[in-house]
Each structure stands twice: as structure tokens, then as C-alpha cells.
Amino acid sequence: MTETGILVSRRTRAPVNQQEMLSTAIRGGVPERLYTEGMRSIFHVDMDAFFVSVEELYDPSLIGKPVVVGGAADQRGVVSAASYAARKFGVHSAMPLRTAYQLCPQAIFVEGHPERYRKYSNLVKEVLQQFTPLVEMASIDEAYLDMTGTERLHGPPLLAAHKLHNAIKAATALNNSIGAGSSRLLAKVCSDQAKPHGIVWIPPGAEAAFLAPLDVRKIPGVGKVTEQKLHRLGIRQVGDMAALEPKFLAEHFGQWGLALGGKSKGLDAGGWFQGEIGEEQDPKSISHEHTFSIDTAEADALEAALAHLSEKVGRRLREHGLWARTIQLKLRYSDFSTFTRALTLSHATQIDTEIYQTARDLLRKNQRAGAPIRLLGVHTSGFSHEAGQLDLLDGAQHERMGKALNAMDKLRDKYGEMSVSLALGMKGRFKERTHEALPNDGKPKK
DNA sequence: TCTGGGGTCCTAGGACCC
DNA sequence: TCTGGGGTCCTAGGACCC
């Protein structure tokens, strides 16, 4: 073990980052007898530049070039992922595409291929499940593994992580980074430090020493706003935060402050990280939204868009076998001011027209007359697994409607999205070009 | 430069009930 | 007539994550 108790192992010598400075690379192999002794052992696996790397598999001519995944350079939208070559020009995820184009006009802009990413994500998942059944995909390109008690099978954490890293690479040809430690939070922070193409393990007892010198922003859940607030209080590094009285943090940040205190010590405190790994859960909300390519105040166009969004939401509810009681409309005007208006029904629904009519009424009631709208959204929550109390007559109607919608879903599967549609029959039509939503590739650095 | 889309969790105020 | 406090539901908004 090194002085700080931090072990880093890098598979290649090529990309070196500042992590190299504060840790000692293990050259020539992996220590054989470092055990976790009854501690939880959590891994976090994060794919390196995932979307870009998958695109490169399908088109090797992209390798080494500046590539931006997210859409055309003149589209309304943001960068989902940027290749390392594009990042050199200052392009990063969550940046407007138009800005990325200003910074790097020679970049290759691609819309992206969600089905390819899903395919590779599933391949990765299969590999992970060979190591432990306790796998939780946290998003399309990252996962948590509970490796506690697997040492006899896979060896100590660092060795197991190397095997895992190689197995993923062998199955997908994709690079990945792995963090390992005694909590989800530790594992997550470690995988970030390991990037790109590395492994970081924090042995039990070394948590505080590892976290202390890191910027507070490195703690998952600390974004721009919390960072600024912490800075104003003179708290810049995780160690500063760990040294504070919980009372002080609670005074300035409420409940969230107490969670922050725990996180600064490497604990899975607060909402995000609670719960065991590998338990499938029902979603708590299902929503769709759309930003128009040109802002519009035209009622027919707005209502057709709302119908389209309602159908997408209804369909997803039926796929999950969920009924929603609360329907929420989201509105955004040209000046980016954003409003939500919700209504909770007396019963739960998964019927497109009911969702649509509720959202449309909310729109008519709350719309600023004549003001062009940039974005509309339909959001549902308050789920149950049944329709809930309806009187007998309504209940029978509901059931027939449900069957009809399931038949429509099957038609859509077979003949495409536009074969059966509420929105299609409407005056305004919904003619906007849409593509499947891509997540973005983590928080922009600095 | 003008800012996507799909989520989770938290806060805070008001209504309503006991 | 005035005044409590706690719990739950609903609504709106915001921070944050990928």
C-alpha cells in the first residue's frame, strides 16, 4: 500500500492525467493479497466516451477525428458526447450544438444511433452479470456492481477489476474505467478519477485520505449552485467539508447538508445512493417533451404536438403496466421562462385521449395568449398498477379502451409510429422532425 | 453561442382533517 | 370567538444526473 493508501492501476501508459500525480501506479502487475475483509465492495463501471466509441466501431474513419454526437451543427440541441479530439477545441457535453460548431466547425456532427448504444449497453451488462448477479445499470453507459463476498471467485478488488475491465474490452472492443470502494459514492468518484481507461480502488480505511484533496464538485450531487454556495462559505475541498460540524452544514443546506456531510466521508448518504444494488424498480414518472424548431403560438400546431406527446406517454405507461393520476403540462416561451401546471385526477389512467385532454385543458387555461411557445411537455406521475376506483360503467369503458390501445400499440410495432395516431388526424398535424432522446455524457468539467 | 430530453429528489406553501 | 399543532395531499419550482 502506498502512503496515502490509494492504489491506481492504469492499463495503458498513453493517456495520463493528474491522478497520476497523487497516486502511485502499480507497475508490473496487481498485488495479490489485498482483501476487503467484510467491508462492502462496490464497483462502478463507466464506459469511456461511450457514444463516440460505438460510432467509431461502425465507422473506423472517425477514429482520432473531432466528432460530436447530438445532432446537426445548426440544430436546436446540445452535445451528448464529444470525442477527445473535439474536446481539445473546448467542446463538451451539454453545450449547445451551435456553440460547438463555432468552436470546432471542422467537427463531424452526427445525430447518433440509440439502438446501437442500447445493443452495446446490453453486451456490457451481460459481461457484468457474469461477475455478480447484483448489477444495476445506472444509465446506458454506467453500472454499479455489488462485489461483496466474491473474492474467492474473482480475487481481491483490484484483480477482479482488471478481469472485469478486460472482459468488457474483449466482448465489445470498448474502453472503460472502473472505480472500487466501500460505497457507491466511493466507487463512483473513483471511476471518474480513473478516466480514461483506468482502475482506481480505495482500500478500506483510506477513504478520507483519498477524498480530502478533491474539489467539492467531485461529489455526486454537488453541481454548479451548491459549489458556488460552498465556495462562498470558504469550503473548496472535500476535506474542508468533512471537518465541519453536521450542525453547520444543516444550518446552511438543511437536510441536504447532513447528506453532504456523510458524502464527504465517503458514505452513501441522501436520496441518490440509498438502497441495495440490483433491485428493479418501477419508474416514478414518465414524460415526453418537445422543443419546436421554430417557436409557435398556433393552436392547431400546439395541440397536435400535445397529442403526439400524450400518445408517447400513454404508450410507455402501458408498456410498464402503470396507471397515472397526475398529469402535468410543461410550457416554455421564447424567453426560456418555463412553467408547469398539474392536475390530479380522481382516478388513474393510461389512456392517450384522457392524458391529451387533460394536458390540452391545462394549456388552454394557462397559455399566455399569443406568446410563441418554444417547448411543450407532458409529464405523468402518481402511479399505481391498476386503474383504481371508477364506477362500473366507466370501468367497463376503460377496459375496452385499454384493449383498443394495446391493439394500436401492436400496429405501431408492426407498421411504424405514424400508422395509427391521434395526432395524425388533427388539423394542425405534428410535422416536427424528432429523434430518440440521447442522454449526455456526464457533467461538463470545470 | 443560446440553451435537448428523460429522469430523481427536495423544498415550501396552502388546503384540509383531526 | 380565537387559537394550537401534526399529518397528508397537492402544486410549483429548482438542483442535479446522464
Q: What is the Cα–Cα distance from A235 to A432, expressed in whole angstroms?
A: 47
pTM of the model: 0.89
Grid cell locating A172: 465489445
Q: Residue A23 has what pLDDT?
A: 34
Order of all β-strands in the sheet with A81-82: A81-82, A67-69, A108-110
Return the SS3 of A293.
Answer: strand
Residues 369-388 of A with CB under 7 A from strand C: 382
**pLDDT of A2 above 60:** no
Tally of residues, chain A: 446
Pairing of strands A108-110, A67-69: parallel
**pLDDT of A393 above 80:** no
Instruction: Enumerate the active-site residues of A.
Output: 142
Q: Is residue A96's beta carbon less than 7 angstroms from any atom in nucleic acid strand B? A: yes
Q: Residue A272 has what pLDDT?
A: 62
Q: Report CA(A98)–C1'(C4) in Å, whole number.
A: 58
Per-residue pLDDT reduced to its tens digit, A274-307: 678 988 889 999 999 999 999 999 999 999 999 9
Q: Residue A361 has what pLDDT?
A: 97
pLDDT classification of A409: cutoffs 50, 70, 90: confident
Return the SS3 of A283.
Answer: coil
Q: Report CA(A394)–C1'(C18) in Å, whole number.
A: 41
Q: What is the Cα–Cα distance from A378 to A350, expressed in whole angstroms?
A: 13
CA angle (A67 as vertex; A61, A69 as ends), nearest 5 = 120
C-alpha distances in Å from residue A11, one per residue of A44, A127, A162: 17, 19, 8
**What is the full DSSP assignment across A154-190?**
H-SHHHHHHHHHHHHHHHH---EEEEEESSHHHHHHH
Rg (CA), chain A: 25
Phi, psi of A191 (to 5 degrees): -65, -35
**pLDDT of A379 above 50:** yes
Considering only CA atoms, which of A140, A199, A201 is closest in space to residue A175?
A: A199
Q: Is residue A77's beta carbon less than 7 angstroms from any atom in nucleic acid strand B? A: yes
C-alpha distances in Å from residue A333, one per residue of A330, A337, A389, A437: 10, 6, 37, 21
Q: Is residue A31's beta carbon less than 7 angstroms from any atom in nucleic acid strand C? A: no
Q: Residue A378 has what pLDDT?
A: 98
Average pLDDT along chain A: 88
Per-residue pLDDT reduced to its tens digit, A125-169: 999 999 999 999 999 999 999 999 999 999 999 999 999 999 999
Q: What is the Cα–Cα distance from A62 to A77, expressed in whole angstroms?
A: 22
Q: Residue A395 has what pLDDT?
A: 76
Chain B bases near protein CB atoms (7 A cut-off): 1-12
Q: Residue A392 has what pLDDT?
A: 66
Q: What is the mean pLDDT of residues A171-192?
A: 97
